[in-house]
Chains A and B, each alone.
Chain A
Amino acid sequence: MEPARLFLGFLCASAALAASSLHQRPPQPEPLLLQEEEEPELGESPSGSLWPLPRSLRILPSQLRLAPARFQLVHGPGSTAGPSCALLQDAFRRYYEHIFGYSKWQNRGQRRLPAGTELLQLQVIIGSKDSECDNYPNITSDEAYQLSVTEPVAVLKAEKVWGALRGLETFSQLVYEDDYGSFLINESEITDYPRFAHRGILLDTSRHFLPLKSILTNLDAMAFNKFNVLHWHIVDDHSFPYQSVTFPELSGKGSYTYDHIYTPTDVRLVIDYARLRGIRVIPEFDSPGHTQSWGKGKKDLLTPCFNGEHQSGSYGPVNPILNTTYNFMTDLFKEISGVFPDAYIHLGGDEVDFTCWKSNPDVTEFMKQQGFGIDYAKLESYYIQKILDIVSSANKGYIVWQEVFDKGAKIKSDTIVEVWIGNLYTAELSRVTRAGFTAILAAPWYLDYISYGQDWKKYYSVEPLNFIGCEKQKKLVIGGEACLWGEFVDATNLTPRLWPRASAVGERLWSSENVTNIRDAYNRLVKHRCRMLRRGIAAEPLFVGYCDHEARGL
């Protein structure tokens, strides 16, 4: 891999560093100690069980009770959203369940509580003329909210429904039960908004197929952690589960089996389920590498590899020298652009192996014609630029893995570059933002790399803006993603492997930069994990201990 271009800082003065790093490799195992993990002492956080921690938070000692039979979630006076806003209606019902749904509270709540001690309502007030109730969330969606819990009604104010969703989650986290099973909440004042706009989870449905139910469960957990982007790495070398209407043979021949497919209805369901939770769905159709499974259903799409004079029978990346390739991509991406409403599509572009291209005499000839010499990165860029043009003409923006930038492909100024290569990612962030591109950070958050012990602390301790660059550059980092690649993950272990480890990333991307106290985080996260269990998410334990309600199921 060649060094990235170095821009001499004329806008921001800073040192330009090092060449880009090598391929991903698993981290070195840490030294092992036996049965000797230090026991962190579990205590109470002054912020209770809130996760991720709100921007500003004042919790008063005064407690109010909530009676399940009386308490209501309602649209407040002056709200621009009303009962016709199905998104909020659904959210009210959901959060009522999350708050009260798991206890046997029937037949309580008949007796009146002493005046001045009961919280009767949460009023949700959308301020903006356009509540965006029927929209899809996008990169600029306003997720800010204010929550004021005082007797007798609590008020949740947000400009848009997206902020209301985040505020409802926070409100649900403020409610707790005392020893007698009463539901209590402290009077509180909260002002909250996310630090980063893009807070994503990557799921890989190619290396292993994930049943729809796994994906939906994961969207629930994402909402509990205020994540707002599902990066759906939907196809790859191993299988092509996306059922295309234009090219049904892609999944017909490229999926593991007929049973391992996402139909258009399935995809629709995921997108709608996500929207109701304020989550964007960004699909990734990675090319020109990582496309082995495409070849089965699309003749001549992949480059035939040669063994000397003869075709070897195996195939390499997408064949970049044929017009048919671009015709195919135009039609495919036209469909994808229609199916996925988000303004962005992830186009991949990582880890392109040149050996097959090098072996192919037609490709060699083409290189000569184009004057590329033997610089196959130029061929790759040639391909990528054509793809980017195709996607642009479908009015979509794009996200690419860092190699596309590293190799100097000409990309539109609003391209988002996702930084994933493990070491030296801070230098890469410097380079990408110095060149004026928007960046998403994934490198330190490859959650598929498991290790023994409390590795959530490692993810938690990452500071995304800790790289060399000026203010303007820092602003270009719009967020990050926790990635759970699928080599060793399927429906059997997805949920416990992802949660609560991804929660650490969730707080890093939502909360203030100065929220870094590991001990306080531990105390809140232990409770947050127990709460996820109660809500049906089989989140694994952080360390020794227990939850009042252990995981159901099994």
Chain B
Amino acid sequence: MAALALLLVGLVPAGAVWPQPQLVRESLGGGRCRLSPDRFRFGYARSSAVGPGCAVLDQAFLRYWRLLRDAGPRAPEDTRPWKPLCTELLVSVATPHCDGFPDMDSVESYKLSTSEDLSLLSSESVWGALRGLETFSQLVWRDEDGTFYLNKTDIVDFPRFAHRGLLLDTSRHYLPVRAILETLDVMAYNKFNVFHWHIVDDPSFPYESAAFPELSQKGAYNPVTHVYTLNDVKLVIEYARLRGIRVISEFDTPGHTLSWGPGAPGLLTPCYAGSIPSGAHGPVNPILNTTYQFMTELFREISTVFPDFYLHLGGDEVDFSCWRSNPEIQAFMQRMGFGQDYAKLESFYIQRLLDIISSYGKGYVVWQEVFDNGVKVKPDTIIHVWRENAGPYQQEVARVTEAGYRALLSAPWYLNRISYGQDWQTAYQVEPLEFEGSPEQKELVIGGEACMWGEYVDVTNLTPRLWPRAGAIAERLWSNKTVRGLQDAYIRLADFRCTLLRRGIQAQPLFTGYCDSEYSGF
């Protein structure tokens, strides 16, 4: 802390970008142009395969134009005509797809070149153009007189990992839709591309299901105010799409389902105290056909509502004590020849569930226990590594990839675990590929997710707790492996945090200091 205390935010170079692009070449000759936000225009290059009418880019142009315009008080009229003026950024996209959803294979690379003659952003897909627009918005800087400038710069950029996610938990505390939308905005500023929506869990069931409306009627904190309607969910998905962000929903089973019980009688296992039911319930009851009929119906709906190819099926932390107490389950275990191995019962359930999901043509992500417990999963399953205290997570990543599965890393990135000081540094210093394994294994690590579990988080503290801490993970997942310098990262991140404040985001400070425009959104 003491060392960084001496850093001054003022030292930040003009046009610092977060996360750091792969390749930046700034003209050393100091070539630069002035820029008038009011007169600046975004447009499509003649060579572009997409043009006006492409909602993703049309709306992005408007968003980024507004960010420019709102970047501060208007610059004074400049009377020095000899300074070149940049007037537009032209965007050229190679593939003519505009209306789809981003997916795991989306190409997010882009090239950006700015100069007084012509500023050009070219990309393979609209998703890459979105990333480039964000970078462009961060290149614009202002001098002390308030004049906007753009340095002559060439950037070639692409993500290091394809899956750069952020988990929000809307069950332990309900998050209003506007809080989710704002988070999606900031995700885009950080080039995150997956919103992992841990939408239901033990404490509440806010997802309003068309097939089973009683789930939220009886399982939400409040069936009117603390729910996500179908419209809400669609809004979130479209809002995310327009920012190049996938929405992966998680309906975690068979554990973490207490809130499902009131709205789905018979779904959960009745626990026994001796020979009589205790009144409490455990995980989903895996021995009943009705359970699988229910899941078939529910996931049919979910598969349609959420367009992403992947669903997150959870599968973590299944507590066996209730299953053990239940005589019917004991009898079933005997019939199936499972002995006393309840992990086998869990696998039995998960495998049937996976089959249901497969039949809808969906892929799945599961928490690591599903793999650890030896469930037979499809080869394209993604294993989400989260456990911190079951041995070093690097070993788990090694095991998962050795078995040929793709892995997603979250273990070192549980941002809900707060501590005193600059803990973003710990998250930043993680190297996802630092585990023992072959180059093929390393290829199987598709990315990671920052997790903000909701035990102690709701709309009152979500944003400052998340930002800019999650930014550390965004850079780790986007930028080159060699971008690791804490000092340099501190300077850029502190500056980026001020950018977030200017954009109206309640991002907390890294350390002592100030921003020109402080948070004022009371």
Residues of A within 8 A of B (CB): 26-27, 29, 32-35, 37, 207-209, 211, 213-214, 217, 238-239, 256-257, 259-260, 448-454, 486-493, 495-497, 533, 538-546, 548, 550-551, 553-554
Contacts and interface: CB of A to CB of B under 8 A. Distances in A.
A29 B463 CA distance: 23
**Which are the 5 A-B pairs with shortest beta-carbon distances?**
A493-B464, A496-B461, A256-B514, A546-B221, A538-B460
A257 B513 CA distance: 11
A540 B458 contact: yes
A259 B251 CA distance: 48
27 contacts: A32-B417, A34-B386, A34-B388, A34-B414, A214-B522, A449-B420, A450-B419, A486-B512, A487-B1, A490-B519, A491-B522, A493-B464, A493-B509, A495-B460, A539-B460, A540-B456, A540-B458, A540-B460, A541-B173, A541-B458, A542-B456, A544-B172, A546-B173, A550-B225, A551-B459, A553-B521, A554-B179
B174 interface: yes
A208 B521 CA distance: 17
B194 interface: no
Nearest to A452: B417
Contacts of B507: 492
B464 A492 contact: yes
A248 to B, nearest CB: 20
A211 B514 CA distance: 12
B222 A544 contact: no
Nearest to B178: A554
A495 B521 CA distance: 13
B176 A554 contact: yes
Interface in B220-260: 221-222, 225-226
B203 A238 contact: no
Interface in B461-493: 461, 463-465
Contact of B464 (A209, A239, A496, A541): A496
A490 B456 CA distance: 20
Given A540-B458, A544-B455, A554 B182 contact: yes
Interface string B274-306: 000000000000000000000000000000000
B363 interface: no
Contacts, number: 149
Given A208-B513, A213-B522, A488-B511, 7 more contacts: A37-B455, A540-B457, A541-B460, A543-B455, A548-B222, A553-B522, A554-B459
B269 interface: no
What does DSSP make chain A's interface, helix, strand, loop or mixed?
A: loop
Q: Which of A26, A217, A260, A490: most chain B CB closer than 10 A?
A: A490
What does DSSP make chain B's interface, helix, strand, loop or mixed?
A: loop
B509 A208 contact: yes
A452 B419 contact: yes
A548 B174 CA distance: 11
A211 B389 contact: no
B501 interface: yes
Given A34-B388, A490-B518, A496-B461, A550 B455 contact: no
B464 A257 contact: no
B509 A489 contact: yes
B438 interface: no
A113 B461 CA distance: 42
A523 B120 CA distance: 60
A214 B521 CA distance: 11
B460 A551 contact: yes
Given A492-B501, A544-B203, A211 B518 contact: yes
Contacts of B221: 545-546
Nearest to A36: B317
A460 B506 CA distance: 29
Contacts of B414: 34
Given A489-B509, A496-B464, A544-B173, A551 B182 contact: no
Nearest to A454: B456
Contacts of A487: 1, 511-512
Contacts of A553: 521-522
Given A32-B389, A493-B464, A208 B512 contact: yes
A356 B71 CA distance: 43
B258 to A, nearest CB: 10
Contact of B387 (A26, A34, A211): A34
A70 to B, nearest CB: 29
Contacts of B179: 554
A209 B517 CA distance: 11
B421 interface: yes
B364 to A, nearest CB: 21
A493 B419 contact: no
The contact size tier of chain B is 35 or more
B418 interface: yes
Contacts of B174: 546, 550
Contact of A208 (B422, B459, B461, B514): B514
B79 interface: no
A452 B418 CA distance: 5
Contacts of B325: none
B48 to A, nearest CB: 37
A260 B511 CA distance: 17
A223 B204 CA distance: 33
B508 interface: yes
B82 to A, nearest CB: 31
B242 to A, nearest CB: 20
Contacts of A239: 514
A553 B461 CA distance: 12
A189 to B, nearest CB: 35
Contacts of A495: 460
Nearest to A31: B389
B367 to A, nearest CB: 11
Contacts of A492: 463-464, 501, 506-509, 519
Interface in B494-511: 501, 506-511
A453 B456 CA distance: 7
Nearest to B5: A487
A491 B417 contact: no
Contacts of B463: 492, 554
Contact of A32 (B172, B388, B511): B388
B420 A490 contact: no
B116 to A, nearest CB: 31
Interface in B148-189: 172-174, 176, 178-179, 182
Contacts of B508: 488-490, 492-493
B494 to A, nearest CB: 12
B454 interface: yes
A553 B176 CA distance: 11
Nearest to A238: B512
Contacts of A491: 518-520, 522
Contacts of A451: 418-420
A173 to B, nearest CB: 20
A367 to B, nearest CB: 28
Q: Which of B389, B457, B461: most chain A CB closer than 10 A?
A: B461
Nearest to B226: A546
Contacts of B173: 541, 544-546
A32 B417 CA distance: 9
A551 B458 contact: yes
Contacts of A449: 420
Contacts of A209: 514, 518
A100 B377 CA distance: 57
A467 B465 CA distance: 37
A35 B460 contact: no
A453 B387 CA distance: 18
Contact of A488 (B203, B317, B386, B509): B509
B449 to A, nearest CB: 15
A208 B459 CA distance: 23
Nearest to B316: A35
Contacts of A211: 518-520
A35 B453 contact: yes
A553 B458 CA distance: 13
B320 to A, nearest CB: 15
Contact of A543 (B417, B456, B461, B520): B456
A66 B380 CA distance: 63
